[in-house]
Amino acid sequence: MPVKKVKKVQRAKVARRSTRVASPAHKAKTKTSKVSRSLSESRRQSSVKTKKVESRLSIAPQADKRRAPSLSASVYNLKGKVVEKVSLPKEIFGSPVNDRLMAQAVRVYLANQRLGTVSTKTRGEVRGSTRKIYRQKGTGRARHGGIRAPIFVGGGRVFGPKPRDFSLKLPSKMRKAALVSALSQRLLDNGIRVISGLEKIEPKTKIMARTIKNLDSNLERKKILLVTPSNSNELSNVYRAARNIEGVRILPANMLNTYEVLDNVAIFLMKPALDALKKHFEGGTE
C-alpha cells in the first residue's frame, strides 16, 4: 500500500477516535444521564421509606380513633336471658383507645409486683474459716487464700442478686386514662357482660359455673374477671361461689386496673358495680 494511502487511513482513524472520545456534548449527555439515574434512584428509595413510615404511623391514629359503637349494654339474669338495657357512662367506656398508654400501665403494674427480696452471700458473708488452706509455694497446686472462695463448693457467690426495689411510678391521671382505654377496648371486643341478681346467688360453685355457661358457653375454661361493687361481707356468697372456678378472678370496682382488664377475655360486671365505677372515677383516684 502506498505511503499516502496509509497516512490517510491513520488520519481517518484518529479523527473517528477524537470525535468519539473528546466530544463535550457526549460528556454532558453521560453526566446528565448519571445524575438523572441517581436522582430517580434516590426518589424511589425516599418514596419507599415514606411509604414504610406512613404504613407504620397509620396504625396509631387508627387505634386512637377506635370508639365504642354503642354505649349501651344488655343486662342478663342468672339464666342468661336479657332483662333490660343499661346505658354505660361515656367517660369510662367511650374513650379513644390508646395502645401505648395501656402498654406502659401494664409494664408498671408488673414491675410493681416484683418483690426484689432475693439475696445471696458473698465470700465475706459465708460462714467458714479464713485461714490459708495450704502453703503458697511448693505444693504444685494453684495458690489459694481461703476455703470460702467462689470457686469452691460452699463458697460465696460472685455478682449474685441482692435486695433491690423494682417499683415504677405512673401518674394517677395516666393510670386512670389507661384503665378507661382498656375498658373501652373490652366494650369494642364485646367482652363486657352486665349481670343482675348475682348478689342473691347461693354460695355453690356449680351454680356459678352454670351461670357462666348460661351467659356464654364459649367462656368456659377461659379467663373471666368478675367485678363486684365492693369488698364487703355482704357479697361473701359470690366469692364462695366463684373462688374455686378455674380462670375466674374477683375484684371490687375500686381495685380495677388496666392489667386485669386486658388479661381477661371477658368482664362480668354486677349491675351495682356500674355505680361504684362512676363514684370511683368521680373521686379522681385509681
Q: What is the pLDDT of residues 199-252, one digit of tens each?
A: 899 999 999 999 999 988 888 778 999 999 987 788 899 999 999 999 999 999
pTM over 0.75: no
Q: Which whole number is the average pLDDT over 60-69?
A: 45
pLDDT at residue 58 greater than cutoff 50: no
Kind of pairing, strands 224-228 and 266-270?
parallel
pLDDT at residue 258 greater than cutoff 70: yes
- Choose which CATH entry (3.40.50.10210, 3.10.450.630, 3.40.1370.10, 1.10.150.20) describes domain 69-114+168-282: 3.40.1370.10
Domain definitions of the chain by residue range? 23-57, 69-114+168-282, 115-165
Q: What is the pLDDT of residue 194?
A: 94
Q: What is the pLDDT of residue 232?
A: 77
More confident call, 233 vs 267 = 267
Rounded Cα gap, residues 269 and 265, in angstroms? 13
With DSSP H G I counted as helix, E B as strand and the rest as coil, what are the percentages for the chain, rounded to 5?
A: 50, 10, 40
First vs last Cα of the chain: how many Å apart? 107
Contacts of 280 (CB under 8 A, 6+ apart): 253, 254, 256, 286
